[in-house]
């Protein structure tokens, strides 16, 4: 056949899709948003990766010494390296250090005495060689002559090179390596508990006829509205050494893995619940009818119908929880006690020891489990087959007094846990001086007298949340629209998809640290945004990009592609269609994206903690800093301010959504 | 218009312009002063020098030092005022400070002035290591108050002591470096071995142990005197104990950043920052001042805090900081088993 056509037809140009102006604009916009994601995500990560290979060590060949005899006649010149080899003083691992490394010059002269009349000379072999005399920095190849008492104060400085040394030293430090084990341990335990509890909760809501479902749903979502370290504060008030009900633990300390796990269950619960609820919601009544007609026991039906139907949801929830726990650092910092975890290690290395290189190493290590979880989750998602076919009958639970009672009990327990934690925080915020002065006062809300930026930080947070919601929604939705409604251009769209999914796999802490390396470099033309609100907005949008992107895609997929064809045949430009059809139809999803970004911008700590400046202190970071300084009650107070702000934002969102649904979504229901 | 009048007018305009330009001198000042003090300090300074505006950039000592070092190649600050002297020593070792002897520097206690001439940094006041001891909780547990550092290794205090982690807290490091200087290397490490068995947790911040003691979360908080006095005023049932061996201390210090374009204004601020008036201003919260004979008693603190201070060798501490922290982490971080 092919041969025939070849002979009959002259070989012409391959047919190409004609690109009109709309397509060009769409592709252009897609490339612009891709560029945004590359600058705000891929490039900083790359810089961080290269930073983790930048090492510091003492270059002994760069220093030369001369020693005089008692009369002041100088002998032969020797480099530090020669002296070190001759006397075998320092092993190579002693020469590895960090950017602030200092090595006493006297370590090359075992016979050194500061009282001796012997004089010393030191110089570098290169102009950049640096050493300290006392605390004064000297550079260069000029000889410096010093008496013994001054020579005692000479220290060599480290120089920069590239290599794997940071990784080697990380894995050979037992305390650091233990953090890896600890992180994995608490992440696995928390995942098991959260997924189990959330499954029970979701099961009760979708499969029972118990009462108060609406209230339970609302309460279950509350933990999303507070920073992750707030449950830690509540746990200290409950089970700390002065805790209200500390005897419940029989002397076990809440500081450590126990506190981290309980707190993690609290803050990851809603995330797991959303995913599992969705998985349980799409079940087919016919499967259960079939099981019943085969006389399968309830137990057997549960394991052969319910669990397999929800398994992808369970796996997905497990990975989300695992990633959240292993990358969270607020909670272990507040209640971790002596239990070291990876996320806190990064903070300790960077803020405590100014060891940015080691911070980068821990970040890269923290990326591995998060990336692995992400990849496995994607693979599993691909296997998900449509459970819901056109013939499906939605599952309708039948009343069963005993079962409904158990469900109600389960949900009540979970609700008590969640509401209890929040109430304890509220109480903590109002008590004057726990546990010695229990009168109520608003003293703890006087944030201006505390670390962390005062009420200004609260205003900044609201500004950040509002800006993130507005610009984030525009960027995310536009990006999703361009990638979904563009014809052809497969490669570009695949790249865009990858970029849009990537933020999900990058822990906030890693992103924040990468931003320091990338933006705080004077050579970077974007350097001026460092320390401003702009960088916080960019960082937060990028950090929470993926969920918004997926929400937008889901909404856009519901709009038939025919709209585009019709608009094209009517010679209407795509932006008219976008403004007049797409946006109004997708308004509920757009509102969802904006409230998601708003709430998360209010509560996020991990990414912004490295890049906020004095002018842009944030409420969520203030909670962390006030707790760090030991002002736990004001920290709880600020946490509750965030909570109330988010509740208010949610209410506004609910009101707007309803109004929007009434005005623009009337077509969904037949009149 | 005669030339005379024109000249007068021109001169007038020139004065106006130049004073306007001078009034616009804005200094970016990095600081770790307490947040509550910033406005008061700026106002007191502006009472004498209304023509220089201070733009504060404030954070905790650790974060501030990290920020300054991160900006090494492109410093954003004109002046550092109220950052730990040992941090400034790190900056000096990077060649980031402009050496300058402020007017009247000879009136200061020499231990508050950098050893080089001209000095790269000058001190304002000091905070001194102290133990915050919760009397109510101690009574419940039947403990006796410690008198010395060495007392803290007594078995009765097991799991009742909190101290800052020297790897993440400046206060924690000044404790450890003071013990090493006072007891000698060998004794200091064996003391810390004993102390470690009694420690219930190491915190990231230096004031937190004292606030935890104030709230009864722990009985003994190894901290410094400032948060102790503050917690006591807020109603915490604590005693502030200065151990009899002496206490490590740290100076809050100031320096001019090398390469600043506002050197004159920076010098004015430095001169003022060590004046008698400034020292009186620091005295509101701090009992030990750089200028001898100025300090008045501070609420809840003894009058002789200065006599508790050991001879602290900042340079030794800076040179050996890495090695000390490495040794400390090797000994105590890896032993930090979960305490459940």
This complex has an ipTM of: 0.79
Residue B283 has pLDDT above 80, yes or no: yes
In this structure, the strands spanning B220-224 and B161-164 are: parallel
Write down the residue that tokens 């005023």 correspond to: B233
The pLDDT tens digits of the residues spanning A398-416 come to 888 999 999 999 999 999 9
Please report, for the domain that includes residue B299, its CATH number.
3.40.190.10
- Helix H, strand E, coil C: the string for A483-504 is HHCCCCCHHHHHHHHHHHHHHH
Q: B339 in a domain, yes or no?
A: no
Q: Which two tokens stand for residue A345?
A: 């290690």
Q: Please name the residue of chain B whose CA is at the shortest distance from the CA of residue A249.
A: B340
Q: Cβ separation of B315 and A613 shorter than 8 Å?
A: no
Q: Please name the residue of chain B whose CA is at the shortest distance from the CA of residue A446.
A: B36
In this structure, the strands spanning B25-31 and B79-84 are: parallel
- Using the Cβ of B94 and the Cβ atoms of chain A, whether some distance falls under 8 Å is answered with yes
Name beta bridge partners: A161.
Answer: A55
Name beta bridge partners: A437.
Answer: A433
Look at residue B80 in the predicted model and tell me its pLDDT: 96
What is the torsion angle, in degrees rounded to the nearest 10, for the CA atoms of residue A32, residue A36, residue A41 and residue A45?
Answer: 80
Which residues from A are below 8 Å from B322, CB to CB?
Answer: 97-98, 100-102
Are residues A103 and A156 in contact, defined by beta-carbon separation less than 8 angstroms? yes
Q: Is there a single domain that holds both residue B62 and residue B91?
A: yes
Domain pair A173-440 / A450-668, same fold: yes
DSSP E strand stretches across chain B: 25-31, 52-58, 79-84, 97-98, 122-134, 161-164, 199-203, 220-224, 238-241, 249-257, 288-289
Q: Cβ separation of A630 and B325 shorter than 8 Å?
A: no
Listed range (A95-104, A256-265, A325-334, B281-290) with the worst mean pLDDT: A95-104
How far is Cα B291 from Cα B251, in angstroms, rounded to an integer? 12
Residue A3 has pLDDT above 80, yes or no: no
User: What is the residue-wise DSSP string for A40-66?
Assistant: IIIHHHHHHHHHTTEEEE--GGGEEEE
**More confident position, B320 or B98:** B98
Q: Cβ separation of B76 and A134 shorter than 8 Å?
A: no
The pLDDT tens digits of the residues spanning B303-320 come to 889 999 999 998 888 888
Q: B340 in a domain, yes or no?
A: no
Look at residue A306 in the predicted model and tell me its pLDDT: 85
How far is Cα B131 from Cα A35, in angstroms, rounded to an integer? 55
Min distance B271 CA to chain A CA atoms (Å): 22
The pLDDT tens digits of the residues spanning A249-297 come to 888 889 899 999 999 999 999 999 998 988 887 777 888 888 888 988 8
Q: Is there a single domain that holds both residue B67 and residue B116?
A: yes
Mean pLDDT value of segment A317-324: 89
- Helix H, strand E, coil C: the string for A61-112 is HHEEEEEECCCCCECCCEEHHHHHHHHCCCCHHHHEECCCCEEEHHHHCCCC
Look at residue A62 in the predicted model and tell me its pLDDT: 92
User: Residue A72 burial (CB < 10 Å; 0-12/13-18/19+)?
Assistant: exposed
Of A155, A241, A253, the CB nearest to B319: A155
How far is Cα A436 from Cα A59, in angstroms, rounded to an integer? 57
Supply the DSSP symbol for A384. P
Band (B13; pLDDT cuts 50, 70, 90): low
CA distances from A640 to A237, A418, A433 (A): 15, 14, 17
Of B71, B95, B167, the CB nearest to A352: B167
Q: Render the burial of B238-274: b for 16+ CB within 10 Å, e for the rest.
A: bbbbbbebbbbbbbbbbbbbbebebeebbbbbbbbbb
In sign, the C-alpha dihedral spanning B203, B205, B208, B209 is positive
- Using the Cβ of B71 and the Cβ atoms of chain A, whether some distance falls under 8 Å is answered with yes
Q: Is there a single domain that holds both residue B323 and residue B222?
A: yes
User: What is the residue-wise DSSP string for A221-260?
Assistant: HGGGGS-TTHHHHHHHHHHSTT-TTGGGGTT--STTHHHH
Look at residue A454 in the predicted model and tell me its pLDDT: 83
Q: Please name the residue of chain B whose CA is at the shortest distance from the CA of residue A613.
A: B57
Q: Is there a single domain that holds both residue B113 and residue B138?
A: no
Which residues from B are below 8 Å from A353, CB to CB?
Answer: 167-168, 325
Min distance A76 CA to chain B CA atoms (Å): 28
Q: Cβ separation of A436 and B204 shorter than 8 Å?
A: no
Q: Please name the residue of chain A whose CA is at the shortest distance from the CA of residue B134.
A: A436
- Using the Cβ of B4 and the Cβ atoms of chain A, whether some distance falls under 8 Å is answered with no
Mean pLDDT value of segment A117-146: 90
Supply the DSSP symbol for A10. P
How far is Cα A348 from Cα B241, in angstroms, rounded to an integer? 29
Q: Cβ separation of A104 and B319 shorter than 8 Å?
A: yes
Q: Is there a single domain that holds both residue B254 and residue B328?
A: no
How far is Cα A157 from Cα A59, in angstroms, rounded to an integer? 9
How far is Cα A552 from Cα B206, in angstroms, rounded to an integer? 47
Are residues B174 and B278 in contact, defined by beta-carbon separation less than 8 angstroms? no
- Helix H, strand E, coil C: the string for A595-614 is HHHHHHHHHCCCCHHHCCCH
Class of the CATH-defined domain A173-440? mainly alpha
How far is Cα B266 from Cα B28, in angstroms, rounded to an integer? 10
A450-668: in CATH 1.10.3720.10: yes
Write down the residue that tokens 């259960």 correspond to: A288
Please report, for chain B, how many H helices and E strands are present, in that order: 13, 11
Look at residue B336 in the predicted model and tell me its pLDDT: 46
Listed range (A183-187, A266-270, B115-119, B169-173) with the worst mean pLDDT: B169-173
Of B71, B169, B340, the CB nearest to A253: B340
- The domain ranges of chain A are 57-160, 173-440, 450-668
What Rg, from alpha-carbon coordinates, does chain B have?
Answer: 23
Interface of B with A in 247-306 (CB under 8 A): none
The pLDDT tens digits of the residues spanning B151-187 come to 999 999 999 999 998 887 888 999 999 999 999 999 9
User: Percent of chain B, pLDDT > 70?
Assistant: 91
Look at residue A15 in the predicted model and tell me its pLDDT: 60
Look at residue B5 in the predicted model and tell me its pLDDT: 59
State the CB neighbour count (10 A cutoff) for residue A392.
15
User: Percent of chain A, pLDDT > 70?
Assistant: 95
Choosing among B202, B336, B337, which should be mutated to test the A contact, i.e. which has the most A CBs within 10 A?
B336
CA distances from B126 to A548, B68, B111 (A): 51, 21, 10
- Using the Cβ of B66 and the Cβ atoms of chain A, whether some distance falls under 8 Å is answered with yes
Residue A380 has pLDDT above 90, yes or no: no
Cβ-Cβ pairs closer than 8 A, A with B, add up to 175
Look at residue A308 in the predicted model and tell me its pLDDT: 83
Q: Cβ separation of A339 and B35 shorter than 8 Å?
A: no
Are residues B272 and B49 in contact, defined by beta-carbon separation less than 8 angstroms? yes
The rounded mean pLDDT for chain A is: 87
In sign, the C-alpha dihedral spanning A282, A288, A290, A291 is positive
Q: Please name the residue of chain B whose CA is at the shortest distance from the CA of residue A435.
A: B215
Which residues from B are below 8 Å from A352, CB to CB?
Answer: 62, 165, 167-169, 204
CA distances from B75 to B80, B88, B120, B144, B324 (A): 11, 14, 16, 50, 29
How far is Cα B11 from Cα B267, in angstroms, rounded to an integer? 28
Q: B338 in a domain, yes or no?
A: no
The pLDDT tens digits of the residues spanning A348-358 come to 888 777 788 88
Specify whether the backbone of B253 is left (phi greater than 0), alpha (psi in -120 to 50) or beta.
beta
Residue A669 has pLDDT above 70, yes or no: no
State the CB neighbour count (10 A cutoff) for residue A222.
20
Which residues from B are below 8 Å from A630, CB to CB?
Answer: 203, 205, 207-212, 214-215, 227
Q: Is there a single domain that holds both residue B197 and residue B264?
A: no
Q: Which two tokens stand for residue A558?
A: 């519901």
Residue B65 Cα to chain centre, angstroms: 12
Mean pLDDT value of segment B118-123: 95
Residue B20 has pLDDT above 50, yes or no: no
Band (A205; pLDDT cuts 50, 70, 90): very high
Name B282's Cβ contacts closer than 8 Å, sequence gap at least 6.
B124, B125, B252, B289
Q: Is there a single domain that holds both residue B9 and residue B120?
A: yes
Look at residue A346 in the predicted model and tell me its pLDDT: 85
Residue A31 has pLDDT above 50, yes or no: yes
Interface of B with A in 192-211 (CB under 8 A): 200-205, 207-211
Q: Cβ separation of A352 and B235 shorter than 8 Å?
A: no
Which residues from B are below 8 Å from A178, CB to CB?
Answer: 334
Q: Which two tokens stand for residue A645?
A: 């702000």
Sheet strands side by side (includes A96-97): A96-97, A54-57, A159-162
How far is Cα A137 from Cα B258, in angstroms, rounded to an integer? 13
Band (A2; pLDDT cuts 50, 70, 90): very low
Q: Which two tokens stand for residue B177?
A: 């470096």
Ramachandran angles phi, psi of A291, nearest 5° = -60, -40
Residue A303 Cα to chain centre, angstroms: 35
- Using the Cβ of B98 and the Cβ atoms of chain A, whether some distance falls under 8 Å is answered with no
Q: Which of A627, A463, A614 is nearest to A540 (CA)?
A: A463
Residue B194 has pLDDT above 90, yes or no: yes
Most confident of A225-239, A476-490, A649-663: A225-239
Q: Cβ separation of B204 and A628 shorter than 8 Å?
A: yes
Q: Is there a single domain that holds both residue B147 and residue B170?
A: yes
Q: Is there a single domain that holds both residue B260 and residue B230?
A: no
Q: Which of A295, A304, A275 is nearest to A194 (CA)?
A: A275
CA distances from A290 to A296, A297, A305 (A): 9, 12, 10
Band (B4; pLDDT cuts 50, 70, 90): low
Min distance B204 CA to chain A CA atoms (Å): 7
- Using the Cβ of B140 and the Cβ atoms of chain A, whether some distance falls under 8 Å is answered with no
Q: Is there a single domain that holds both residue B212 and residue B68?
A: no
Q: B308 in a domain, yes or no?
A: no
Domain range for residue B172? 128-247+314-333
Q: Cβ separation of B58 and A614 shorter than 8 Å?
A: yes
Band (A387; pLDDT cuts 50, 70, 90): low
Min distance A254 CA to chain B CA atoms (Å): 8
Mean pLDDT value of segment A511-520: 90
Residue A596 Cα to chain centre, angstroms: 15
Are residues A124 and A63 in contact, defined by beta-carbon separation less than 8 angstroms? yes
Supply the DSSP symbol for A532. S
Name beta bridge partners: B275.
Answer: none
Look at residue B206 in the predicted model and tell me its pLDDT: 87
How far is Cα A318 from Cα A199, in angstroms, rounded to an integer? 11
Q: Please name the residue of chain A whose CA is at the shortest distance from the CA of residue B316.
A: A153
Band (A671; pLDDT cuts 50, 70, 90): very low
Of A353, A437, A614, the CB nearest to B56: A614
Min distance B18 CA to chain A CA atoms (Å): 29
Q: Is there a single domain that holds both residue B140 and residue B106?
A: no
Ramachandran angles phi, psi of B11, nearest 5° = -60, -40
Q: What is the pTM for the complete model shown?
A: 0.85
Q: Please name the residue of chain B whose CA is at the shortest distance from the CA of residue A454.
A: B35
Which residues from A are below 8 Å from B36, CB to CB?
Answer: 448-449
Of B60, B237, B320, the CB nearest to A436: B237
Q: Cβ separation of A253 and B337 shorter than 8 Å?
A: no
Of A132, A175, A241, the CB nearest to B334: A175
Q: Which of B41, B18, B45 is nearest to B31 (CA)?
A: B41
Are residues A610 and B53 in contact, defined by beta-carbon separation less than 8 angstroms? no
Q: Is there a single domain that holds both residue B81 and residue B185?
A: no
Number of domains chain B contains:
2
Listed range (A361-365, B144-148, B244-248, B262-266) with the worst mean pLDDT: A361-365
State the CB neighbour count (10 A cutoff) for residue A380.
17
Residue A607 has pLDDT above 90, yes or no: no
Q: Cβ separation of B116 and A134 shorter than 8 Å?
A: yes
Q: Cβ separation of A630 and B208 shorter than 8 Å?
A: yes
Q: Cβ separation of B57 and A241 shorter than 8 Å?
A: no
Q: Cβ separation of B315 and A153 shorter than 8 Å?
A: yes
User: What is the residue-wise DSSP string for A116-162?
Assistant: S--EEEEEESSTT-EEEETTEEEESS--EEEEHHHHTTEEEEPEEEE
Q: Cβ separation of A351 and B66 shorter than 8 Å?
A: yes
Write down the residue that tokens 């000379």 correspond to: A121
The pLDDT tens digits of the residues spanning A42-73 come to 999 999 999 899 888 899 999 999 999 888 88
Choosing among A135, A169, A262, A612, which should be mutated to test the B contact, i.e. which has the most B CBs within 10 A?
A135
How far is Cα A13 from Cα A16, in angstroms, rounded to an integer? 8
Q: B234 in a domain, yes or no?
A: yes
Mean pLDDT value of segment A454-480: 95
């Amino acid at each position: 056949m092919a041969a025939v056509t070849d002979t009959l037809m002259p070989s012409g140009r391959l047919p190409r899709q004609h690109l009109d102006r709309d397509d060009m604009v769409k592709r252009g916009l897609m490339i612009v948003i891709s560029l945004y994601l590359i600058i705000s995500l891929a490039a900083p990560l790359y810089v961080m990766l290269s930073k983790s290979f930048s090492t510091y060590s003492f270059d002994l060949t760069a220093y030369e010494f001369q020693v005089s005899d008692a009369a002041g006649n100088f002998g032969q010149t020797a480099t530090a390296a020669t002296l070190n080899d001759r006397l075998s003083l320092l092993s190579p691992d002693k020469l590895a250090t960090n950017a602030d490394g200092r090595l006493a010059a006297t370590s090359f002269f075992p016979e050194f005495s500061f009282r001796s009349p012997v004089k010393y000379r030191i110089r570098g072999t290169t102009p950049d060689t640096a050493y300290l005399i006392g605390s004064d920095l000297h550079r260069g190849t000029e000889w410096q002559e010093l008496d013994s008492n001054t020579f005692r104060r000479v220290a060599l400085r480290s120089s920069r090179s590239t290599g794997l040394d940071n990784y080697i030293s990380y894995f050979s430090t037992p305390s650091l390596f233990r953090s890896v084990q600890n992180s994995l341990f608490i992440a696995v335990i928390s995942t098991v508990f959260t997924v189990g509890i959330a499954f029970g909760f979701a099961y009760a809501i979708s499969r029972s006829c118990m009462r108060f479902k609406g209230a339970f749903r609302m309460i279950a979502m509350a933990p999303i509205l507070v920073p992750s370290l707030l449950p830690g504060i509540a746990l200290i008030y409950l089970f700390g050494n002065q805790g209200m009900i500390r005897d419940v633990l029989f002397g076990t300390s809440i500081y450590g893995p126990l506190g981290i796990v309980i707190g993690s269950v609290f803050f990851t619960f809603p995330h797991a619940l959303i995913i599992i609820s969705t998985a349980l919601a799409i079940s087919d009544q016919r499967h259960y009818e079939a099981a019943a007609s085969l006389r399968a026991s309830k137990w057997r039906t549960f394991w052969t119908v319910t669990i397999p139907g929800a398994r992808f949801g369970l796996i997905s929830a497990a990975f989300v929880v695992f990633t959240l726990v292993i990358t969270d650092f607020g909670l272990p910092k507040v209640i971790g006690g002596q239990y070291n975890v990876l996320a806190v290690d990064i903070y300790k290395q960077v803020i405590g020891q100014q060891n940015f290189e080691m911070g980068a190493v821990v970040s890269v290590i923290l990326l591995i489990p998060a990336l692995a979880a992400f990849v496995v989750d994607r693979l599993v998602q691909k296997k998900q087959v449509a459970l819901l076919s056109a013939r499906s009958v939605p599952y309708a639970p039948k009343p069963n007094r005993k079962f409904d009672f158990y469900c109600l009990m389960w949900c009540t327990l979970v609700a008590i846990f969640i509401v209890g934690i929040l109430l304890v925080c509220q109480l903590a915020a109002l008590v004057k001086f726990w546990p010695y002065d229990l009168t109520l006062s608003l003293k703890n809300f006087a944030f201006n007298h505390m670390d962390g930026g005062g009420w200004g930080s609260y205003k900044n947070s609201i500004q950040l949340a509002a800006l993130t919601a507005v610009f984030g929604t525009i960027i995310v939705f536009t990006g999703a629209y361009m990638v979904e409604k563009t014809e052809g251009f497969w490669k570009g769209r695949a790249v865009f998809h990858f970029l849009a999914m990537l933020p999900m796999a990058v822990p906030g802490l890693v992103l924040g640290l990468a931003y320091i390396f990338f933006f705080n470099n004077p050579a970077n033309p974007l350097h001026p945004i460092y320390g401003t609100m702009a960088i916080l907005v960019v960082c937060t949008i990028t950090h929470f990009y993926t969920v918004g992107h997926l929400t937008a895609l889901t909404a856009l997929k519901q709009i038939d592609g025919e709209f585009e064809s019709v608009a094209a045949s009517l010679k209407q430009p795509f932006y008219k269609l976008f403004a007049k059809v797409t946006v109004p139809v997708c308004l509920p999803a757009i509102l969802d994206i904006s409230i998601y970004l708003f709430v998360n911008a209010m509560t996020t700590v991990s990414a912004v903690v490295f890049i906020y400046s004095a002018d842009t202190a944030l409420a969520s970071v203030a909670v962390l800093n006030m707790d760090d300084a030991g002002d736990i009650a004001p920290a709880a107070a600020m946490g509750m301010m965030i909570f109330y702000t988010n509740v208010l934002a949610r209410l506004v969102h609910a009101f707007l959504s309803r109004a929007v649904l009434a005005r623009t979504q009337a077509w969904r229901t037949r009149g | 218009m005669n030339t005379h009048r024109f000249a007068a007018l021109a001169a007038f305009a020139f004065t106006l312009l130049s004073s306007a330009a001078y009034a616009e001198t804005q200094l970016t000042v990095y600081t770790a002063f307490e947040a509550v003090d910033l406005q008061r300090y700026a106002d007191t300074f502006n009472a004498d020098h209304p023509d220089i505006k201070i733009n504060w950039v404030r954070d905790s000592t650790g974060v501030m030092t990290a920020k300054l070092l991160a900006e090494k190649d492109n410093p954003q600050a004109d002046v550092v005022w109220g950052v730990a002297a040992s941090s400034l020593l790190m900056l000096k070792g990077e060649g980031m400070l402009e050496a300058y002897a402020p007017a009247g520097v000879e009136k200061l206690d020499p231990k508050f002035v950098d050893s080089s001439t001209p000095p790269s940094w000058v001190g304002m006041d000091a905070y001194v290591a102290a133990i915050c001891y919760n009397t109510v909780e101690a009574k419940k547990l039947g403990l006796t108050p410690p008198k010395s550092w060495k007392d803290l290794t007594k078995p009765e205090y097991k799991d009742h002591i909190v101290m800052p982690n020297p790897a993440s807290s400046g206060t924690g490091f000044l404790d450890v470096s003071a013990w090493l200087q006072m007891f000698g290397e060998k004794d200091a490490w064996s003391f810390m071995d004993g102390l470690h068995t009694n420690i219930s947790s190491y915190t990231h911040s230096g004031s937190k142990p004292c606030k935890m003691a104030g709230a009864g979360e722990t009985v003994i908080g190894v901290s410094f005197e400032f948060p102790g006095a503050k917690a006591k005023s807020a109603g915490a049932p604590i005693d502030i104990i200065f151990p009899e061996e002496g206490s490590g201390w740290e100076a809050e210090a100031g320096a001019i950043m090398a390469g600043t374009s506002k050197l004159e204004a920076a010098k004015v601020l430095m001169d003022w920052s060590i004046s008698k008036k400034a020292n009186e201003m620091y005295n509101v919260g701090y009992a030990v001042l750089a200028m001898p004979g100025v300090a008045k008693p501070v609420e809840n603190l003894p009058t002789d805090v200065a006599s508790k201070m050991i001879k602290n060798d900042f340079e030794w501490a800076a040179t050996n900081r890495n090695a000390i922290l490495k040794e400390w982490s090797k000994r105590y971080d890896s032993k930090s088993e979960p305490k459940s």
